[in-house]
Amino acid sequence: MTEGQTSAQHSCAIGNNLISCMEILTPDESTLLESKMVVVNYRKGEIICKQGAPATQIMFVREGLVKIYMESNSGENLVLHIMPEMNIIGLSALFEGNNVYQFSAQAYINTRVQVVDIQTFRQLIRTNPEFSLKIIALLAEYNTIISGRFFCLTQKQTYGRLADVLLCLANRIYKQRKFPLSLSRKELAEIAGMSVESVARILTRFKEENLIEMECKHLNIVDYDRLFDISLKG
């Protein structure tokens, strides 16, 4: 199993893209960006941006964990991806004619965000071609992640979907097989597209089969290969 296979299979989250983007800026561009930034702290559960609201800002996630999702008239949410620290919210608003946010963003845990007006961000894109290429690459990664999410939700059974979520948390969020389980059963169910009862039942089954351990609000993936196999087979 290669790292590429792992990333392609469990692409619910974005990697540390902010660092690579910011390193490309010149000293003057970095100074300009910092002078226009405002830090906003969000508590767990607070809305960072609202679907349909005017898209006037780009947001840099410096600390925390964010849910990017689409709302429906029925009140159910479709989680597009999970965004850990060192990522950017609102890039879809850079396209001409797209002047509202196409999604909502909510803090899963206490989150710190740096906000900059969209015109300043567009100025950096116009003046720094290498920075522009990084942003295009990041948008392409977002698209890959969303495509993977739709495949998971539409083609996999419940066991495979939950295995995907757990592997995503291990590989892309916490980068270790034992990690704090900061998401509730309800939040896990929303990501995996299943009921809370199904999540509880499958977690119990995973524990009984010695695939995972759960203790003191931490989850430990004991048998990674078997859990990965469940994810692959769906």
Percent over 90 (pLDDT), the chain: 65
pLDDT at 45: 96
Average pLDDT for the chain: 89
Q: Determine the Cα–Cα distance for residues 62 and 222; give it in Å rounded to an integer.
A: 30
For residue 172, which of 150, 153, 190, 149 has the smallest C-alpha distance?
A: 149
pLDDT in tens, 123-144: 999 999 999 999 998 888 888 8
Domain residue ranges of the chain, discontinuous segments joined by +: 3-152, 156-233
- Domain 3-152, what fold? Jelly Rolls (2.60.120)
Residue 116 dihedral angles phi and psi, to the nearest 5°: -135, 145
d(CA 187, CA 65): 12
Min mean pLDDT across 2-16, 90-104, 165-179, 211-225 is at 2-16
Reported confidence tier of residue 4, pLDDT bands at 50, 70, 90: very low
CA dihedral of 79, 85, 87, 92, whole degrees rounded to 10: 30
Encode burial over 44-62: b for 16+ CB neighbours within 10 A, e otherwise.
Answer: eeeebbebeeebebbbbbe
Q: Do domains 3-152 and 156-233 have the same CATH topology?
A: no
Mean pLDDT of 180-203: 94
Residue 214 above 90 pLDDT? Answer: yes
Q: Strand 47-49 relative to strand 104-107: parallel, antiparallel, unpaired? A: antiparallel
Q: Above pLDDT 70, what percent of the chain?
A: 92
User: What is the mean predicted confidence (pLDDT) over 182-190?
Assistant: 93
Q: What is the pLDDT of residue 139?
A: 87
Tell me which CATH code domain 156-233 carries: 1.10.10.10
Helix axes 158-168, 185-192, angle to 10 degrees: 110
pLDDT at 25 over 60: yes
